[in-house]
Structure 1
Amino acid sequence: MANSKFEYVKGFEQPDHLMPNTWIVVRIDGRGFTKFANKYEFEKPNDKRALDLMNAAARALVTEIQDITIAYGVSDEYSFVFHKLTTLFERRESKLVSTIVSTFTAYYIHHWSTYFTDTPLSPPLPTFDGRAVCYPSIQNLRDYMSWRQVDCHINNLYNTTFWALIQQGGKDGTEAEQILKGTLSADKNEILFKQFGINYNNEPEMFKKGSVIFRDYELVEPGTHNVAQEVEQMAGEPTQQSKTQRDNDKKKRAKARVTVEHLDIIKDDFWDRRPWLLSNKPGRVPKEP
């Protein structure tokens, strides 16, 4: 590009490279989604169509951006995790966040008619905001993911009970809030079962656990991989992977199926059986049945 006297304005740009050797989590949230949900009459406490739409947009995004190792979503939010060794966009925060937000929004709008077949979109259109946070250790990252899933459970149990009191119990919002004020999980489960015959354990797993998206390889036996050691060894390597290694890994990731599951990601078993989520090394692609 030719130089010009106006090029000096580039000097006003501020560097925004995220810390090296840290896990990057880009979390997006719907903007004004309470009004948006009311406009399109989302079912309470959960609208399966809306959640399936969020998952479809997130799955398309994870498929397109191979540097995303795992994603977790609930309600109108999604968290996308980049491995600590990623160099995508030179780890520039503005590029990572804007790409995730814009691509997710584009897929959300694109897939809308698939899940809301009789309700075309109209302005104001759905939009999302985003932020990036760096976590220095595997434990920090897992604690973050656990926090989001625990939050999913707490909020869903409350909302399930709240809306049962309104829809089946004839209470208004204020009355339902007063009934639930200060209650514990056991109390809410008792209200659901004794008053409305609802066994919370039988609620759909997507509602209770949220959705986790990742590339699916063959599961391994727990204890056969020391993922933490592998990650530290890679982080300490003076040189990056060779181009051949990167190309081979890229081909493996492209062949892997990107799956949406509703699993417990707090317990060790989920991570132990899927070491590729933390090691950044693609696993073995399952053979076609």
Structure 2
Amino acid sequence: MANSKFEYVRLFEQPDQLLPNTWVVVRIDGRGFTKFATKYAFEKPNDKRALELMNAAARAVMTELPDITIAYGVSDEYSFVFHKSCTLFERRASKLVSTIVSTFTGYYVHLWSAHFPDSPLSPPLPSFDGRAVCYPSIQNLRDYMSWRQVDCHINNLYNTTFWALIQLGGMGHTEAEQLLKGTYAADKNEILFSRFSINYNNEPEMYKKGSVVFRDYELVEPGTHDVAKEVEDMVEPVQQSKTQHENDKKRRAKARILVEHLDIIKDDFWDRRPWLLSGKPGKIPKEP
């Protein structure tokens, strides 16, 4: 490209590289979704259609971007995890975030009619914002994922109790807020059961645990792999050849992408799925 007197404006561009050899989490959130949910009459405390739409959009994003290792979603947010060895877009924050946000938003709008056939979209259209955060260790990453799932449980228990008081107990919003102020989980469970015969343990797992999206490979027996130690012991990720990278990409593309509602805090989830931490595709399950 020929030089020109206007080219100096490139000097204003600042580098936005993410730290190397770290796990990158791109977390997106719905913009103004409180008003958006009201506009389209989302059911309270949870709208199954809205959550399944979020999951479908996340699944589509993972299909298009095989470098994503795992994703976790709750309410109007989703977290997408890139392995520490990933060099997609040269680990530039702006490109990673903009790609995830734009792809997710595009699919959310595209899939809307399949989940809300009687509520056509109209401006202002749904949109999302995002940020990228680096986590140096596997423990940091798992603590982040655990934090989001614990947050899901705390918020859902509160919302389930709050809306039961309003919808079934006839309370106003302020009265319900005052009743729940300072209560613990046991108190909310007692309110649900004693007043409304609702056993919180029987609520759908998607509401209590959120949604985990990952590729389906053969599960391994716990204790047979210590992937976490192997990964953490590496000073730098092993550099793959172009051929190895392409082969892994093809294997990821062949794997089914699952949306499950599982406990990701306990070790069992990670021990049985070593590919989540190793960054290497597992074995495709044999057809039954």
Q: Distance in 1 between matches of 2:233 and 2:253?
A: 25
The Cα offsets for residues 195-225 of structure 1, whole Å up to 9 and x where unpaired, read as 0011101000000000000111000001111
Aligned residue for 1:46, secondary structure, equals: coil
Pair 1:285-2:256 in alignment? no
Hey, what does 2:152 align to over in structure 1? Answer: 152
Aligned residue for 2:240, secondary structure, equals: coil
AA paired with 1:163? W
Q: Report if the CA contact (8 A) 2:162-2:176 is conserved.
A: yes
AA paired with 1:258? I
AA paired with 1:158? Y
Aligned residue for 1:130, secondary structure, equals: strand
Q: Distance in 1 between matches of 2:221 and 2:176?
A: 47
Pair 1:91-2:91 in alignment? yes
Q: Distance in 1 between matches of 2:236 and 2:258?
A: 31
Q: Report if the CA contact (8 A) 2:72-2:80 is conserved.
A: yes
Matches within 5 A, 1:124-163: 124-163=124-163
Q: TM-score, normalised by structure 2?
A: 0.98
Hey, what does 2:251 align to over in structure 1? Answer: 252
AA paired with 1:270? F
Matches within 5 A, 1:66-145: 66-145=66-145
Deviates more, 1:240-249 or 1:45-54: 240-249
AA paired with 1:80? F
Aligned residue for 1:224, secondary structure, equals: coil
Hey, what does 2:52 align to over in structure 1? Answer: 52
AA paired with 2:262? L
Residue 118 of structure 1 deviates from its aligned partner by 0.4
Hey, what does 2:271 align to over in structure 1? Answer: 272
Q: Report if the CA contact (8 A) 2:137-2:232 is conserved.
A: no
The Cα offsets for residues 54-95 of structure 1, whole Å up to 9 and x where unpaired, read as 000000001110111000000000000011111000000010
Matches within 5 A, 1:95-244: 95-232=95-232, 234-236=234-236, 240-244=239-243
Aligned residue for 1:66, secondary structure, equals: coil
The Cα offsets for residues 141-183 of structure 1, whole Å up to 9 and x where unpaired, read as 0000000000000000000000000000000000101111111
The Cα offsets for residues 232-265 of structure 1, whole Å up to 9 and x where unpaired, read as 355536x611122112211110110011000000
Q: Report if the CA contact (8 A) 1:227-1:275 is conserved.
A: yes
Hey, what does 2:41 align to over in structure 1? Answer: 41
Gaps of 5+ in 1: none
Q: TM-score, normalised by structure 1?
A: 0.97
AA paired with 2:46? N
Q: Distance in 2 between matches of 1:4 and 1:124?
A: 40
Residue 230 of structure 1 deviates from its aligned partner by 2.5
Q: Distance in 1 between matches of 2:246 and 2:61?
A: 20
Q: Report if the CA contact (8 A) 1:85-1:235 is conserved.
A: no
AA paired with 1:62? M
